[in-house]
């Protein structure tokens, strides 16, 4: 009994010390973010505001302001508590109890610049509506294809060259970068506009994070580095703007540090670059210009790598297509969906939709957690692979997914390969 009491006392002390350490660290992070945000001149609105740092598994939360329900209690000059279960935890901005909060998953990056980059990125999302820049989670699915990826990577090579030229000598490189955009517009006219939507959402947020959280004396080297690592990303369909946003933004900043004061929801980086750098459309045939640019930037290696990558992508697409069209699936209709997912693991499956491998969805019917694969079509319908279902009245386990149902919902088998979630 004495040993048990000693262990219990030690455990309670250790947990208290951990909580105290976390609260002190969170308070430090808030102070860092406030200092960086208060010094920014990128936007005409105050950047710093309500923030929630949330540990996903325990939902333990540290906040820089109190909540109206009193769930978060004061400690170490900040507030702490447990976030309600109905709130999806992701790096984002949410409306909760009368405030718009920036939410950031705990633990935060150990590197101070990475941490400030992340925090001020999410602080931008908190204020972007007030700037007349509505959120838009556009997915650029064609960036999963060979040609989509190739012409983005070639554009980034031209942008890297522009970054390393004096401001007054960038016009040729920037014109070349815009030419590769023109090629994507020709190839994918129906969804090309999603590039602008994503860049005016995540691109501006990441530009804010980079410019507010990182030393300006090292920015060119940093932007060179993220360009160099783009090809190693598993997917670009939700990640493009995290690169092009800060790159184009910094190029514009060097012409006018307050270019952001003159944009609105209709703005685009190609138009802004043409305006600030006085770039005219080149009449020469597009194919001829592209061939010359590939030679100029020694880009044959990129082409060869992307061809090899495309073989792997087509093989994976064949497997996913078989899984979701030739095997049993559960169909779930989305009504008032809230979603959190890993944007770095998405896979475009063309006409069938997009495959998500790590995702949590809440809706009127309950909660879905996926750790393997889920197909979503037009943000309206979800398909899950069905095999050996294990279920209770309100809890259904599938292959890499779990569905927790609210009262009044059940699954019907509507065909040999088709199940559907329906209301009672």
Tell me the pLDDT band of 4, cut-offs 50, 70 and 90. Answer: very low
Is 282 within a domain?
Answer: yes
State pLDDT tens for residues 208-220.
999 999 999 999 9
Answer yes or no: do 110 and 217 share one domain: no
The closest of 374, 355, 350 to 145, measured between CA atoms, is 350
Range of the domain at 383: 328-423
The closest of 106, 62, 49, 85 to 338, measured between CA atoms, is 85
Residue 142 and residue 188 in contact, taking contact as beta carbons nearer than 8 Å: yes
Global pTM?
A: 0.89
Pairing label, strands 329-333, 359-363: unpaired
Query: Which pair of structure tokens corresponds to residue 279?
Result: 């770039």
Residue 321 and residue 410 in contact, taking contact as beta carbons nearer than 8 Å: no
Q: How far is it, in rounded angstroms, from Cα 214 to Cα 385? A: 43
Is 293 within a domain?
Answer: yes
Answer yes or no: do 145 and 127 share one domain: no
144 exposure class (CB count in 10 Å sphere: 0-12, 13-18, 19+):
buried
Is 136 within a domain?
Answer: no
Among candidate residues 298, 316, 346, the one where a domain is terminated: 298
Answer yes or no: do 275 and 166 share one domain: yes
Is 310 within a domain?
Answer: no
Answer yes or no: do 13 and 100 share one domain: yes
Q: How far is it, in rounded angstroms, from Cα 414 to Cα 96? A: 39
State pLDDT tens for residues 225-261.
999 999 998 899 999 999 999 999 999 999 999 999 9
DSSP secondary structure, 90-121, as one string: SSEEEEETTEEEEEEESSPPSSHHHHHHHHHH
Task: Report phi then psi at 404, rounded to 5.
Answer: -110, 110
Rg, Å, the chain Cα set: 24
Residue 19 has pLDDT above 60, yes or no: no
Is 312 within a domain?
Answer: no
For residue 76, the model assigns a pLDDT of 87
Residue 363 β-bridge partners: 366
Answer yes or no: do 108 and 21 share one domain: yes
Among candidate residues 131, 156, 173, the one where a domain is terminated: 131
Tell me the pLDDT band of 3, cut-offs 50, 70 and 90. Answer: very low
Query: What is the pLDDT averaged over residues 20-31?
Result: 94
State pLDDT tens for residues 373-392.
999 999 999 999 998 777 77
Is 307 within a domain?
Answer: no
Q: Which DSSP helix (H) or strand (E) runs through 408?
A: none
The distance between the two most distant Cα atoms of the chain, rounded to a whole number of Å, is 87
Among candidate residues 251, 278, 298, the one where a domain is terminated: 298
For residue 280, the model assigns a pLDDT of 87
Residue 6 and residue 56 in contact, taking contact as beta carbons nearer than 8 Å: no
Answer yes or no: do 267 and 153 share one domain: yes
Query: Which pair of structure tokens corresponds to residue 218?
Result: 């090292």
Answer yes or no: do 127 and 151 share one domain: no
Query: What is the pLDDT averaged over residues 177-195?
Result: 96
Q: How many domains would you assign to the chain? A: 3
Answer yes or no: do 382 and 243 share one domain: no
Is 304 within a domain?
Answer: no
Is 322 within a domain?
Answer: no
Query: Which pair of structure tokens corresponds to residue 265?
Result: 């929801």
Instruction: Say which residue the tokens 């602008």 belong to.
Output: 196
Cα 294 to Cα 180, 233, 301, 302: the distances in Å are 11, 22, 10, 9
Pairing label, strands 329-333, 418-423: parallel
Answer yes or no: do 259 and 203 share one domain: yes
State pLDDT tens for residues 407-422.
999 999 999 999 999 9
Answer yes or no: do 88 and 163 share one domain: no
Residue 412 β-bridge partners: 420
Answer yes or no: do 224 and 78 share one domain: no
Answer yes or no: do 247 and 374 share one domain: no
């Amino acid at each position: 009994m004495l040993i048990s009491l000693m262990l219990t006392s030690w455990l309670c002390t250790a947990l208290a010390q951990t909580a105290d350490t976390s609260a002190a660290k969170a308070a430090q992070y808030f102070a860092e973010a406030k200092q960086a945000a208060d010094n920014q001149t990128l936007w005409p609105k105050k950047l710093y505001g309500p923030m929630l740092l949330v540990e996903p598994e325990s939902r333990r939360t540290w906040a820089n302001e109190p909540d109206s329900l009193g769930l978060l209690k004061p400690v170490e000059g900040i507030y702490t508590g447990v976030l309600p279960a109905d709130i999806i935890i992701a790096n984002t901005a949410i409306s909760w109890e009368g405030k718009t909060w920036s939410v950031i998953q705990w633990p935060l990056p150990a590197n101070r610049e990475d941490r400030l980059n992340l925090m001020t990125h999410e602080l931008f999302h908190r204020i972007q509506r007030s700037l007349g820049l509505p959120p838009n989670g556009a997915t650029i699915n064609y960036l999963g294809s060979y040609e989509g990826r190739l012409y983005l990577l070639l554009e980034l090579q031209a942008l890297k060259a522009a970054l390393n030229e004096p401001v007054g000598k960038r016009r040729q490189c920037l014109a070349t970068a815009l030419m590769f955009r023109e090629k994507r517009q020709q190839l994918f006219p129906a969804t090309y506009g999603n590039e602008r939507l994503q860049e005016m959402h995540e691109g501006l947020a990441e530009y804010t994070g980079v410019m507010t959280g990182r030393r300006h004396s090292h920015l060119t080297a940093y932007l060179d580095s993220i360009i160099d690592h783009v090809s190693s990303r598993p997917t670009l369909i939700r990640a493009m703007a995290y690169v092009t946003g800060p790159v184009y933004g910094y190029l514009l900043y060097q012409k006018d540090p307050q270019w952001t004061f003159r944009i609105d929801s209709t703005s685009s980086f190609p138009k802004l670059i043409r305006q600030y750098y006085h770039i005219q459309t080149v009449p020469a045939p597009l194919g001829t210009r592209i061939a010359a640019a590939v030679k100029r930037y020694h880009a044959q290696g990129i082409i060869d790598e992307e061809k090899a990558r495309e073989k792997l992508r087509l093989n994976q697409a064949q497997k996913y297509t078989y899984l979701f069209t030739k095997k049993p699936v559960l169909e779930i209709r989305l009504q008032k969906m809230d979603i959190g997912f890993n944007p770095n693991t998405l896979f475009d499956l063309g006409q069938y939709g997009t495959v998500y491998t790590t995702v949590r969805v809440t809706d009127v019917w309950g909660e879905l957690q996926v750790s393997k694969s889920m197909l979503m079509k037009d943000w309206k319908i979800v398909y899950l692979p069905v095999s050996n279902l294990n279920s209770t009245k309100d809890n259904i386990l599938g292959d890499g997914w779990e569905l927790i149902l609210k009262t009044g919902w059940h699954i019907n088998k509507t065909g040999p390969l088709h199940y559907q979630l329906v209301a009672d």
